[in-house]
Amino acid sequence: MKKVGIKFKTSGKVYDFNSGAFVLNVGDQVIVETEQGLGFGTVVVVPQQWEPNGSRKPLKKVYRLANEKDFDQRDKNLTDEKEAHEYCLKCLNELGLKMNLFSVEKSFDGNKYTFFFTSEGRVDFRRLVKMLVKQLGARIEMRQVGIRNQAKMCGGMGRCGRELCCSAFLEKFEPVSIRMAKEQSLSLNPTKISGQCGRLMCCLTYEYKTYQELKKNMPRIGKVVNTVSGRGKVIRHNAICNRITVRLETGMELDTGADQIIKE
């Protein structure tokens, strides 16, 4: 048996499917079987040999390669999603619900709409669902997500000038803490280390372990050390260059290599 990796969204999770007898390449668009019915996906990992494990669920199958009708159906779904989004916003205004609706997804077969929103608390949307069912004639799911998920789904540009990591390639969110910024000697100004979502930037995790490794043999900040110019206290680290800044007892600041500290 061979399994193939397929994505349903550009920055979405990679799902494994049974490729069967299909010869697939990266970029091929296919119709697959999912728990929600047929889905439209893109091959991102070529088929590889795979041995089923009795403890795992059997893989869903690749149904067929996408054809012209499937592309037409996908385009129609995109149009329907836009119309459903506009109608739902109108309903929210009428009902006075405090919800931030930011995305609508229609299942490939058209039997279900999923409305994604953020909110500060719980929302009673029962009347809203009835209005949507009556208008759209399909099953409705209201899904409340976090602010980071909203940024991932909506996309945008980061302060680095590039597409947001979460919408470009991150499949899941890793925990981010202010300690990571401190370890990398970054500004602790929230406006400088927060992303579009208002949370700490995901990229703070990228070099965190590297900085920890580089600082293992460096004297900690606040420690009194001996240098060729006299005793002083460590006040800054430059881990990338393996250098430290020492404030001498005379008040002067000395930039020196961490390996040049005189051991007692």
Locate tokens 């899904």: which residue? 143
* pLDDT tens for each residue of 2-19: 889 998 887 778 888 988
Rounded-to-integer distance, Cα 84 and Cα 87, Å: 5
List the domain boundaries for the chain.
2-66, 72-145, 150-210, 224-260
**Could you give the residue ranges of the DSSP H alpha helices within the chain?**
68-95, 126-136, 147-154, 165-168, 178-183, 190-193, 208-214
Q: Where are the beta strands (DSSP E) in the chain?
A: 2-7, 15-18, 29-34, 37-49, 62-65, 100-106, 112-118, 139-144, 224-227, 230-238, 243-248, 253-257
* β-bridge mates for residue 256, sequence order: 244
In this predicted structure, what is the pLDDT of residue 48?
86
Whether 216 and 203 have beta carbons less than 8 Å apart is answered as no
Contacts of 53 (CB under 8 A, 6+ apart): none
In this predicted structure, what is the pLDDT of residue 54?
61
The tokens of 208 are what? 């965190």
Determine phi and psi for 237, rounding to 5 degrees.
-115, 145
Q: Which of 27, 26, 44, 28 lies closest to 169 in space, CA to CA?
A: 44
The tokens of 5 are what? 């990796």
Locate tokens 């002067």: which residue? 252
Burial class of residue 53, CB neighbours in 10 A (0-12, 13-18, 19+): exposed
Angle, alpha carbons 71-73-76 (nearest 5°): 110
pTM: 0.72
Whether 205 and 214 have beta carbons less than 8 Å apart is answered as no
Residue 99's CB is within 10 A of a number of other CB atoms, namely 19
For the chain, list residues with pLDDT below 50. Answer: none
Contacts of 201 (CB under 8 A, 6+ apart): 158, 176, 193, 194, 195
* pLDDT tens for each residue of 131-182: 999 999 999 999 999 889 888 888 888 888 998 998 888 878 899 999 999 9
- The half-sphere exposure of 198 on its side-chain side, counting CA atoms within 13 A, is 4
Positive/negative CA dihedral, 146, 149, 154, 158: positive
Q: Which CATH class is domain 72-145?
A: alpha beta
